[in-house]
Amino acid sequence: MSESSPARGEAPRAGLLRVDPSRPPRRAALWIPVILAGLSMLGPFSIDTPFPAFPEMGRDLPATTEQLQLVVSAYLVAFGLMSPFHGPLSDALGRRPVMIGGVAVFALASVGAALSPNLETLLVFRVLQGLSAGGGVIVSRTVIRDEFEGAEAQRLMSRVMMIFGVAPAVAPVLGGLLIQLGPWQVVFWFMAFFGVLLALVVLFWLGETHPPELRIPLRVGALLGSLLTVTRSLAFHRVAWAAALSFAGQFLYIGMAPIVVNDLLGLGELDFWILFVPMIVGILVGAQISGRAAGRIDGRHLVTGALLFSVFGGVVNVVLVSLPIADLPWAVVGPALIAVGTASAYPTLQLLLLDMFPATRGAAVSMFTFFTLILNGVAASALAPIVTESLTVMAAASTALVVAGLVSWTTHLLATSRGPVSP
């Protein structure tokens, strides 16, 4: 079976596919992106909301700034290690059971984190948060492609990114406001409330989009086989690493925000918006470009132009922070430009990956998330002591990652020059 051919048992789809024929497509196009963006927000809320509470957590637990970085790394590594399994389980059980179960466990883990008496206990529950959050974050990405295709799928994926894109800016600001209302534990109580709310929304508002006749057997061999099929695809690796590496150039600033904001820029616990808001504006602009380009510009040209712009943003970033005027607002211009290019390319790259394996989309998005999260987890921990020496080193490392993403995409274009690339 070729990578782009319909799976056995899956009927050819033209235009809009709706598992529930009675569901109005226009209405679905409005509320589905909102629900899926909310599920995707578990990721940035889990990572960014605790940042403003780090100083208080350090005094209370107690822990150093480097030790508190483990609060981020523990979540990311656990999320990455579990991510290969959420998607295949949704291919076998359906999307709703995996999403509801994962979000419910996340809520319970958040309660445990709020009640943690020391850093070691907190890290245990952060690992549990990472292991469970993918049930919502990862599986939700397959729902749009389950129900829509072509330009409509790209437009809806772009809307999800636009809504989701606000989360990294809102999360640290919200975290700063929450710790004004109470101790650092209130941040994790908020995560617990958010998890319960999402579980109820999915339970009562989101229908099943992966019907039984399209599911794979719930057997270890079948689940691992779907992952192996994805992993052995060179085309998958080229596209996945193009997306993961280019996004890592932006995530470098997100994952190390406490060091960038507090140490390198010398700002306070309520000033995270200064770094995040420009990047979110870039994400919103890029997602808008992707949505407008749907059906007008093919995937090959859109992704190429977007990644070239990200590289341009990286170069601008290096130049600006190397000048004597390397201060605000110039220090946050480069990351915002990188975000424009990344957000423009990301929806199309995700659809390309999902269309490679129409029968096991969950496995495809799981493996892609696995590579992305492991890369970001390593960047947030192992690279932190190296790249956070100065804003210039940060900018150079970010640009190198974006360039690597462009190289991976160019390699894919050369390998598929005789065949179509657009989803």
Residue-wise pLDDT for 327-384, tens only, equals: 778 888 999 999 999 999 989 998 999 899 988 999 998 999 888 877 876 776 677 7
Q: Which of 30-34, 292-296, 325-329 has the highest mean pLDDT?
A: 292-296
User: Which of 69-73, 193-197, 417-421 bottoms out in mean pLDDT, i.e. has the lowest?
Assistant: 417-421
The share of the chain scoring above pLDDT 70, in percent, equals 89
Longest dimension (CA), the chain: 63
Please indicate whether residue 179 or residue 387 has the higher confidence score (pLDDT): 179
Whether the per-residue pLDDT at 23 is higher than 70: the answer is no
**Residue located via tokens 């420009």:** 278
CATH for 25-415?
Answer: 1.20.1250.20
CA distance linking residue 304 with residue 14, whole number of Å: 27
The pLDDT-based confidence of 100 (bands split at 50, 70, 90) is: very high
- Predicted local confidence at residue 308, as pLDDT: 97
CA distance linking residue 242 with residue 236, whole number of Å: 10
First to last CA, the chain: 17
The pLDDT-based confidence of 190 (bands split at 50, 70, 90) is: very high
Contact 136, 6 (CB under 8 A): no
Whether the per-residue pLDDT at 90 is higher than 70: the answer is yes
User: Which tokens sit at 71?
Assistant: 């609060």
Nearest to 275 by CA among 341, 324, 321: 321
Burial 260-290 (b: 16+ CB within 10 A, else e): bbbebbebebebbbbbbbbbbebbbbbbbbb
The pLDDT-based confidence of 114 (bands split at 50, 70, 90) is: very high
**Global pTM value:** 0.75
- Predicted local confidence at residue 183, as pLDDT: 94
**Can you give the residue ranges of every domain in the chain?**
25-415
CA distance linking residue 387 with residue 391, whole number of Å: 8
